[in-house]
Each structure stands twice: as C-alpha cells, then as structure tokens.
Amino acid sequence: MATATAPVKETRTHPENIVEMSWDPITRIVGSLGIFTKIDFANKKVVECHSTSSIFRGYSIFMKNKDPRDTHFITRRICGICGDNHATCSIYAQNMAYGIKPPAMAEWIINLGEAAEYMFDHNIFQDNLVGVDFCEKMVRETNPGVWEKATATEAPHAKDHGYRRIADIMTALNPFEGEFYRETLQVSRMTREMFCLMEGRHVHPSTLYPGGVGTVPSVQLFTDYLIRLMKYVEFMKKCVPLHDDLFDFFYEALPGYEQVGQRRVLLGCWGSYQDPDVCDYNYKTMDKWGKAMFVTPGVVVDGQLVTTNLVDINVQLRILLGSSYYEDWEQSETFVTHDPLGNPIDKRHPWNQTTIPQPQKRDFKGKYTWVMSPRWLDKRTGDHLALDTGGGPLARLWTTALAGLVDIGYVKATGSSVKMILPKTSMKPEVELEWKIPKWSNAIERDRARTYFQAYSAAAAMYFVERAMKELHAGRTETFTPFKVPDEAIGCGFHEAVRGVLSHHLVIRGGKVANYHPYPPTPWNANPRDIYGTPGPYEDAVQNTPIFEENGVDNFKGIDIMRAVRSFDPCLPCGVHMYLGNGKVIQQMHTPTGLAGLAKR
C-alpha cells in the first residue's frame, strides 16, 4: 500500500514558470550526488523530484561463499567515512550467529571508538561541509539581504562562543580561511586520534573482531582518550550555542524557512552503544538488550513512538524494487522462513534478498538508480513507510527522548527531551544542554540535532571511560571471547551509522556466507519511488521546498535545495543522483558559472 509522505501544500499564487536546472555532482558530501530539478520560479518552489545513484560495487555478490569471519573486514570498506560503523554492525551480527558475548571491556572499548566516530564525523561534516552553505561567502552570493541583516544582529550566546554578531559566525565558517572552519578541522583530527586509540585506524579500523577487540586496555590508553575528550567537551560548550544562534537566526531572518527540506515525521533509529550488563547477542532476548542501548532504537511516526523493540524493527523490514536496476528475487531461494522466535520472515526481508544486477540505460520514467527502496511495514496500517534517518541525530535524539529510557548521569532522556551535562573543564564551568523535540522534521532541525548529538556522544563517552576504568581497576582486562563458526546459523546486527540506521543480515551455510545484506542509512534516505509509487525521503523533502534565494533564474545557486539535501548528511559511496521531473519545461539551464572557487583564492 502506498503511503502519504507529506501533507500536500497548495501555495501556487502565480502562473507557473518552470525551469529545469541541474547540479551534478553535489559536492561537500561523501560520494557523488547529482540533482536535476524543475523549479517554478514564479511561485518560488521546487516542483518534483526523483533520486538516482551512480555507482554499483556488488558487496552482497562477492561476499557469497566467503568465510563469515571475513565479513567485517570486507564490509567496513563499504564506507570511507563511517567504515567502523559497518565493522561494528557486522561484528554484532557475527556475535549473534556464533552465539558469543564479548567481555565487557571489549564493549566499552567499541563504545568509546564509536563515540569518537560520531564526535569526529558530525563535527567535520557540520562545519567543514554543511557549514559552507551558511558561511559569509555563500550567504553574500545567495542572499545579500540576509547577510546585511546578519551584520546587524547580535548573537544571543556571544559570551559562550565569542562571536559578537551572526555575521561574525558566518565569516568564521568561510572555507579554509575562517577561524571556526580551521578550528573544526583540527578538532576533527583530535577526535580521530581518540578513535585510533580504540579501533586502530580511521576510516577502516584494524582492531575489531567478532568476540571482542585486539586493543590492549591500559591506564595510558584511557588517559590518552580522556584528556582529548575533555578538550572536546570544552569545545562543545561553544559549538552548540554557536549553532543555535546561527540556525535560530535563519528562522528569524527568513520567515517560512521551516519548510525547507520538511517532510512528515517518519523517523527510524536502530540504536547505538551496547550495554554489556544486558546485551548477550541472543536474538530471543533482543527486545530487552535493544532497550538497554545507550541510544534507544525506535520508529517515530507523526510524533508517536510506534515501537522500541528491535525484533519488531527487524521482522517488519522490507526491501522493495520499483525504479532500480535489479531483477526481482521472488523466484530465488528463501534462506530464512522464521526468526528464532517463530515469527515468519517475508520474502522481501534482507535475510531473503538475492541481488541480481541488471545494468541498463538511465531512464527517469523507468529505472534510474542502483539504490533499492528499503521500507518499514507499519502493521497498524499496512503502510510500507519510507522512513528517513533525519541525517542520523534527529532520529536518534527523537526516539531516545520519547522512550525516556537512557539515564547515565551525563545523559538523561526525559520523555520529551534529552539532557546532557557537561562537567567543568579548564576554561568553562559546568553546562547543562537540553535538546527538545522540535516542531518539524526539516533541514534546520536535522542540522541542529547534529550539533547536539556531538555533545550527547561526548557525554556518553565520559560514562564509558568511567566504566572501562572500573573494569581495568578490577583487573578484568580480557577483551576477547573465543568462538567456532557454526555450520548453519543466522545473525543480524543493528547499529547507528553516523548518518542513521544500519543493519547487517547474515546467513551461514556449510560454514560459509550463504547470504549477506547490509542496509546503511543512505539507501533509506536516497531511494527512488518504490513499486507502490512512494517516493524516497530526499525526493519527498526536496519536493515543495520553497525557494528563498534572492538570485533569479540567471545566477541561481540553488542554496535552499543544497541545504535540504545536505541536512540528511548524504554518504553515497552508494552514489546518488537526484532528478526532479514532471511539470512543463519552459526553458532549460545548467548552473551558471561564476562561483569563484576556494582554489582561486
């Protein structure tokens, strides 16, 4: 059944003046993304949207018949910025398949590594990639009126971050030259050092194994991490209010800006940070240990928390075709008929997927992408929901806040908000931050949540360091549980990649991989129309995005569309293009030249 994805807004006030424009590739993301739009300039909005991908590598194909212990070494190479999330998720799936539970120390080390990854990745993406869309140079080019207003607007939290006016923040975000841009690059290196302490190497870690880690716990290891962490905590005390000021200013300067990138609240989060006190990787107890994760898994529909049960999340996954270059697998082998709890497993579930590539010409009226359409079946309505991840943080904070389960001192979920307590650091006193559930799922709130989740991860990491040190002081330093690969087994891993939901599904037969299907966040966000005609989240969020840019057709930059798309934190080694079709084409243009590149400066 098709799903309504967004309320239909009828805002047309002038006769249409539709212009076709394209940006291919979209830069400042990971991977290659293109956008093909049709924009109604008379009514200042985007008309319609399709999304498509430009790279196929075939992981599910070449992993067949390999040793299951190789799967995390292989899958961590899916992604060049959050490869560790894949390695971790694969290890979770393998632990389940092998029936093992790593020692607590190993889990704290992985949690510390993953926390450093969120701290690094959100940081560099927010202020070295997305931040450029909000920098002086960009705002002057796209909205001179907004820049003028920014020069006259005092920053409400100037005493926390040191920038007196909003314009000063924008100047600090100028690429390579801006003070905050440069500071962010440096912070991104310090956080990657923290990551390397725990997981060896960035972006593809070296020390993770099913059963535990190879990292050697020591006083030095945790001290080296903690000292860097506290510098990051101090940085957060300026970073969060800086972004609040910047984002609030956009709502104020451009009334209606909440509609940019807005879509219906349809959010999924698969949970992050295992609690070794509870988690045993047994499928039958997955509901219990899923709820104990330090970021709560869940599905939020129209503001309501539908479930926090990982078993429900798993059983109701569906992979649909429709507009992608694959043959259907209805006739292929069924690997798993029931889960270990006896729930029937659908043919369209990742455990039963067979990937059959069918390369062909790109046809926007037919098949136009390498991305399939993952959906979550809402049993209450029978809808195949096109959930998005809110770029990761928005869904994580939303589910965690509503569930109200996390309470670890430095972080507390209240039922309507998430509180983070950042203790005193060398130059700044204790600060309590509170992320409150916003009114919209839109570009600005995805971006704002990203900053808050950086603070969340820093706060959670302080707790993890304390727990790890406790193990160390008690002499419990083992980090590995030996195992044997069974002849026949299934496993699934649920985790949060930096930009959202991540699952790995594994089937072992004859001691080899019989089937393996990873589902990272970008297929959830960047997928095309499915067989029911339901558009993917990008398509949906860009569609009807109003245009606030002051430039006319002749020197249009598409900044509002860029902000909408980048708010999802596209990470497209599974490359994605976007195409906005339909509507009557009156004239066709490409992006005008004239943006002076940073390389020219």
Partner 1 sequence: MAAASPPIGAHRPPDVEEIHVVWMTTGLGCDGDSVSVTAATLPSIEDVVMGAIPGLPKVHLHNPVLAYEVGDDFMKYWYLAAEGKLDPFVLVMEGSIPNEKIKKEGYWAALGTDSKTGQPITTNEWIDRLAPKALAIVCAGTCATYGGIHAMAGNPTGAMGLADYLGWDWRSKAGLPIVNVPGCPVQPDNMMETLLYLLYQVAGLAPMIPLDDQLRPKWLFGKTVHEGCDRGGYYEQEDFADVYGSPKCIVKLGCWGPVVNCNVSKRGWMDGIGGCPNVGGICIGCTMPGFPDKFMPFMDPPPGSMVSSAVSGVTGGVIQALRQITQRSANKEPSWRHPRGELTTGYTPKHYANV
Task: Please report, as residue ranges, which positions from 20 to 59 form the binding site for partner 1 (by CB under 8 A).
Answer: 22-32, 34-36, 54-58
Q: What does the alpha-carbon distance between residue 163 and residue 181 come to, in Å, rounded to a whole number?
A: 14
* 352 part of the interface to partner 1, by CB under 8 A: no
| 247 touches partner 1 (CB under 8 A) | no
* Binding of residue 18 to partner 1 (CB under 8 A): no
Q: Which is nearer to partner 1, 199 or 539 (CB)?
A: 199
For residue 213, give Cα distances in angstroms to 205, 210, 481. Answer: 11, 8, 9
175 binds partner 1 (CB under 8 A): yes
Q: How far is the CB of 227 from partner 1 (least distance, A)?
A: 13
Considering only residues 1, 219, 341, 356, which one is a binding residue for partner 1 as defined by CB under 8 A?
Answer: 356
Shortest distance in whole angstroms from residue 182 CB to partner 1: 7
Residues 391 and 568 sit within 8 Å (Cβ to Cβ): yes
Among 213, 301, 489, 541, binds partner 1 (CB under 8 A): 213
Residue 370 DSSP class:
S
Contact 257, 278 (CB under 8 A): no
When binding is defined by CB under 8 A, the residue of 159, 361, 380, 473 that contacts partner 1 is 361
Q: Which is nearer to partner 1, 32 or 259 (CB)?
A: 32
- The pair of structure tokens assigned to 82 is 């959050």
Give dist(CA 14, CA 418) in Å, integer. 43
Contact status, residue 53 vs residue 369, Cβ threshold 8 Å? yes
User: Left, alpha or beta for 339 (phi > 0: left; psi -120 to 50: alpha)?
Assistant: beta
Q: Which residues pair with 572 in a beta bridge?
A: 31
User: Total binding residues for partner 1 by CB under 8 A?
Assistant: 101
Enumerate the β-bridge partners of residue 383: 378
Please check whether residue 311 is in contact with residue 287, taking contact to mean a CB–CB distance below 8 angstroms. yes
Q: Taking CB under 8 A as the rule, does residue 139 contact partner 1? A: no
Give residues 470-489 in contact with partner 1 (rule: CB under 8 A).
477-480, 482
Quote the least distance from Cβ 372 to partner 1, whole Å.
16
Q: Is residue 562 near partner 1 by the rule CB under 8 A?
A: yes
What is the token pair recorded at 162? 């040191």
What whole-number distance in Å separates Cα of residue 262 and Cα of residue 251? 13
Q: Does 366 bind partner 1 (CB under 8 A)?
A: no
* Of residues 20 and 234, the one with the C-beta less far from partner 1: 20
Whether the CB-CB separation of 374 and 264 falls below 8 Å is answered with: no
Residues 80-109 that bind partner 1 (CB under 8 A): 80-81, 83, 106
Q: Is 327 in the site for partner 1 (CB under 8 A)?
A: yes
Query: Which region among 60-68, 264-272, 289-297, 525-533 touches partner 1 (by CB under 8 A)?
Result: 60-68
Does residue 586 touch partner 1 according to CB under 8 A? no
Among 16, 67, 275, 466, binds partner 1 (CB under 8 A): 67
Cβ contact 120:458 at 8 Å: no
Which member of 322, 350, 500, 575 binds partner 1 (CB under 8 A)?
Answer: 575
Q: Does 251 bind partner 1 (CB under 8 A)?
A: no
| Tokens 């510098």, located at residue | 231
Measured CA to CA, the distance from residue 552 to residue 21 in angstroms comes to: 12
- Residues 283, 339 contacting (CB under 8 angstroms): yes
Q: Is 277 in the site for partner 1 (CB under 8 A)?
A: no
CB of 32 to partner 1, least distance (A): 5
Strand pairing report for 411-413 and 587-588: unpaired
End-to-end CA distance of the chain: 53
Q: Does 555 bind partner 1 (CB under 8 A)?
A: no
Shortest Cβ 133–partner 1 spacing (Å): 10
207: contact with partner 1 by CB under 8 A: yes
Contact between 124 and partner 1 by CB under 8 A: the answer reads: yes
Q: Binding partner 1 by CB under 8 A: which of 11, 156, 164, 176?
A: 176
Is 405 exposed, middle or buried (CB count within 10 Å of its CB: 0-12, 13-18, 19+)? Answer: middle
226 interacts with partner 1 by CB under 8 A:
no
* Interatomic CA distance for residues 513 and 489, integer angstroms: 10
* Cβ proximity to partner 1, 214 vs 583, nearer residue: 214
Residue 201 in the binding site for partner 1 (CB under 8 A): yes
Q: Using the minimum distance from each CB to partner 1, give the nearer residue, 38 or 384.
A: 38
Residue 38 tokens, joined = 């049709």
Report residue 403 as tokens: 């569930």
Q: Which residues pair with 388 in a beta bridge?
A: 267
Least spacing, CB of residue 546 vs partner 1, in Å: 19
Under the binding rule (CB under 8 A), the answer on residue 597 touching partner 1 is yes
* Helices of type H across 308-351: 310-315
Pick the closer one to partner 1 by CB: 362 or 379.
362
